[in-house]
Amino acid sequence: MEATIFRREDGSRKLNPQLFALWVGMASMIMLFGAFTSAYIVKQGAGNWLQFPMPWVFFVSTAVIVVSSITLHMAYNAFKTQQWSRYKALVLTSTFLGIAFMVLQYEGWLDLYASGVDLRANVGGSFFYLITGAHAAHVLGGITVLAITCLLAFTLPLKYAESRRNKIEMVLHFWHFLGGLWIYLFVFLNVIR
Amino acid sequence: MAEVGVKTREEILIEEQGFNDHFHDHHHGDKYKSGFLNHYVFSMDHKVIARQFLITGIVWAVIGAAMSIVFRLQLGFPEESLAWLKPILGKWIVVDAEGVGKLAPEFYYALVTMHGTIIVFFVLTAGLSGTFSNLLIPLQIGARDMASPFLNMLSYWFFFLAGVVMFYSLFLSTGPFSGGWVAYPPLSALPQASSGSGTGMTLWLVSLTLFVVSVLLGGINYITTILNLRTKGMSMWRLPLPIWAFFVTAILGLLSFPVLASGFFMLIFDRSLGTSFYLSDIFIGGQALDRVGGSPILFQHLFWFLGHPEVYIIILPAMGIVSEVLSVHSRKPIFGYRAMVYSIMAIGFLSFIVWAHHMFMAGVNPFISNFFVVFTLIIAVPSAVKVFNWITTLYGGSIRLNSASLFAIGFVSMFISGGLTGIFLGNSAIDIQMHDTYFVVAHFHIVMGVAAFFGMFAGVYHWFPKMYQRYMNETLGKIHFWGTMILAYAIFWPMHYLGMAGVPRRYYSFDTFDAFKHFAEMNKFITIAAILSFVIQLLFIVNFFYSIWKGKKVTKKNPYDANTLEWTTPIEPLHGNWPGNIPAVNRWAYDYNKDEREFVPQYEPLKEGEVGDH
């Protein structure tokens, strides 16, 4: 959908409205996870709470999503400077790192389950699966747009266009958001147990 | 009216001063109107989507109101036979050997629950904010359409889908959800808790989750459009007040509905995956459940973190509409424009820190209650500022008493009456007596039910010419207003007395309570008023649909001599709203009776030496 039919007469716009809309959407996601973590704190304060260490796999997945954010940012810079082969390689790497993150999250859940923390036994465990699962659901959305970006990088003729830069910028912001959100959740789940 | 070939001053000004966004340059045919399906069904035009929201809202309003009539019959005439309703309600009317039909108690609860859910979410959220945000935001800020017409279309269709699922749930053999519109666990968390807690509750959750998606998509669009697509010269401080109201409403929705969604997800986990977020120490059917460790109060916190902002999501758009209608029809600038805006913001902010006043009696710490009491009472301040400003806007105006302005004035009356009882209920001490009584029912129905409906009616009567290029019938409109005004008070005023005497809400019957027996006549009175009020609303519906096709045609672009930009579009605006340039704005929206001119539209440049704005 061409949301940019509303371009100003002098061509200037302070902000791409689509990017702004994405930010507004991310604000609502922050509220969702804010609600989850607040409920976590309230419930934990009420007692009957199982303490368990976070499986080490989640430390690896954290590193992976951080690296993927960096590679995607480099890809964006490569697009801006029109280094096409570098751009393609970096977008592809980021997509694979994103998928690797999901695989690692899944491994983490399996580890946790194997250690005796299941979804039902205690609310502490339920919250862990709920929060990390809700994050993973959002990452799936992120991987989808990353995969599309990747596909377009390899199929569309590579040339610089402002509209295309806007779209890649949106993917980049969303992916950074997902990474930042994970770091928040990772620290939160480690500190407040 | 301009003669053919002669340009009006307005057209000349828009052509000279407005800006050309090259919208019409790339218009190879009108792709938005390529067929019936794209034009009327999957339309991306904000004006069509607004009408879709409105008509869907009206349909739901009829269903929700009809439900209230059925349970009012039970409350007002518990001895009478309801066997005549059997053809409609089927097995929910239990007819005994003597032919006396009784409403099944579980269906009474289902009706109460559905009435609340439908009116709060489908009518007063989607039908009110959805309709007027869509219609007015692009038209009043000077935009061709929403920032993303596609998301806008999705927003409507998610709402529609939510409606389909809810509608389907009404016909389940176990009935729709019946645990109250607030859906507190454990009634909502355990499928075996009541007949409606099984599939009925599952569909309720599916429906409302879809609804949350609809609100979020709509809200993202409204906020982005207002901040990014305002026409040249349309600074935030020149926005008409409805736009400010829709803006803050959208922010509230965007920040509070995800919290409701989080509560829903945990509820879905509890229902389907065996977790115990909200469940602990429960005996059901004589058996102890093995689900321990959860807290039902947790759900109440998450629910009311949405639930309270939700009532402002309902009332703020009505306030914005009323401000505009009152100013236009009293031919005076709105009094205290900036104070109005700051009060909207203050109400929006405070709405997030008062949610626990719905839970004073739910076992929350009384010291924490104090915090919520204080902030709840502070809401009276911006509310009173707004009421003062509406009244001073009317004061000394040459008021046109038409259907729109009557409903706007009625809104102010209702808002005062209902707001004052809010001060009673906001006190945690008084709430010990008042909680869960008819006093609460009376309070919220007047302040956010009737008042919001009045705001909606004011908006429909006022902007009907813009939506359908015809006028609604004024005589019928006035009968509708006076009937509704009198009957709404007749319904809800007596409920205050019931509530003060301690009559609890949500009860199926009071036969066995000696203390409440003498209220039987009053309940009868309320029921009769409710039925008459329902009939009067049918008058509105007849007027509405009759006027769409047969109403008096609009022959002037600007029938009310109003200042805002929607009246500079053609009588029937096509896609893109303005045929040529978008008008540029030089002043605020409320220059009425200024410098000996009755009205000065926003596109008029300031005269030399004229001090603009407010």
Residues B554-600 pLDDT 10s: 999 999 999 999 999 999 988 889 988 899 999 999 999 888 889 99
Which chain B residues have a beta carbon less than 8 Å from that of A46?
Answer: 295
Q: Does A191 touch chain B (CB under 8 A)?
A: no
Sequence-separated (6 or more) residues with CB below 8 Å from residue A137: none
Distance CA B89, CA B110 (A): 12
What tokens were used for B590? 């409320």
The identity of residue B533, as a single letter, is: S
The rounded mean pLDDT for chain A is 90
Distance CA B223, CA A3 (A): 14
CATH 3.30.930.10 describes domain B43-599: no
Give the largest CA-CA distance in chain A: 63
Over residues A104-128, mean pLDDT: 93
Q: Does B252 touch chain A (CB under 8 A)?
A: no
Portion of chain A with pLDDT greater than 70, in percent:
93
Q: Does B34 touch chain A (CB under 8 A)?
A: no
DSSP string, B503-569: PBTT-S--TT-GGGGGGHHHHHHHHHHHHHHHHHHHHHHHHHHHHHHHSPBP--S-TT---SGGGGS
Question: What's the pLDDT at A158?
Answer: 85
Task: Judge whether residue B221 has pLDDT over 60.
Answer: yes
Q: List the 121-150 stretch of A: residues with Cβ below 8 A of B.
A: 122-123, 126-127, 130, 134
Question: What's the pLDDT at B35?
Answer: 67
Question: What's the pLDDT at B515?
Answer: 87
Over residues A157-162, mean pLDDT: 87
Please report which confidence band the pLDDT of residue B438 belongs to, taking 50, 70 and 90 as the band edges.
very high
Question: What's the pLDDT at A9?
Answer: 45
Question: What's the pLDDT at B366?
Answer: 86
Which chain A residues have a beta carbon less than 8 Å from that of B263?
Answer: 35, 39
The DSSP symbol for B571 reads S
| φ, ψ at B103 (rounded to 5°) | -75, 130
ipTM: 0.91
Question: What's the pLDDT at A5?
Answer: 40
Which chain A residues have a beta carbon less than 8 Å from that of B303?
Answer: none
Question: What's the pLDDT at B267?
Answer: 96
Please report which confidence band the pLDDT of residue B420 belongs to, taking 50, 70 and 90 as the band edges.
very high
pLDDT per residue as tens digits for the range B254-269: 999 999 999 999 999 9
Q: How distant is the Cα of B141 from the closest Cα of chain A, in angstroms?
A: 13
Q: How distant is the Cα of B19 from the closest Cα of chain A, in angstroms?
A: 6
pLDDT per residue as tens digits for the range B108-145: 999 999 999 999 999 999 999 999 999 999 999 999 99
pLDDT per residue as tens digits for the range A17-44: 889 999 999 999 999 999 999 999 999 9
Please report which confidence band the pLDDT of residue B10 belongs to, taking 50, 70 and 90 as the band edges.
confident
**Best residue in A126, A127, A181 for a mutation probing chain B (most B CBs within 10 Å):** A126
Over residues B462-490, mean pLDDT: 97
Over residues B68-94, mean pLDDT: 93
Are β-strands B597-599 and B283-284 bridged in parallel, bridged antiparallel, or unpaired?
unpaired
Contact B259 A32 (CB under 8 A): yes
Question: What are the helix (H) ranges across B273-350?
Answer: 296-329, 337-350
Contact A48 B293 (CB under 8 A): yes
Name which of B258, B275, B292 is nearest A31 (Cβ-Cβ): B258
**Residue-range domain boundaries for chain A:** 53-191
Over residues B325-331, mean pLDDT: 96
Q: What chain B residue is nearest to A118 in terms of C-alpha separation?
A: B275
Q: Does B352 touch chain A (CB under 8 A)?
A: no
Over residues B384-395, mean pLDDT: 96
C-alpha to C-alpha distances, B558 to B47, B67, B265, B462, B599, nearest whole angstrom: 18, 40, 49, 12, 11
The identity of residue B465, as a single letter, is: P
Question: What's the pLDDT at B575?
Answer: 83
The DSSP symbol for B123 reads I
What tokens were used for A152? 């377009």
Q: List the 25-64 stretch of A: residues with Cβ below 8 A of B.
A: 25, 27-29, 31-32, 34-36, 39, 42-43, 46, 48-49
Name which of B254, B275, B292 is nearest A28 (Cβ-Cβ): B254
Over residues B36-56, mean pLDDT: 87
Distance CA B226, CA B214 (A): 18
CATH superfamily of A53-191: Cytochrome c oxidase, subunit III, four-helix bundle (1.20.120.80)
The DSSP symbol for B353 reads G
Contact A28 B276 (CB under 8 A): no
Distance CA B614, CA B608 (A): 17
Over residues A1-11, mean pLDDT: 42
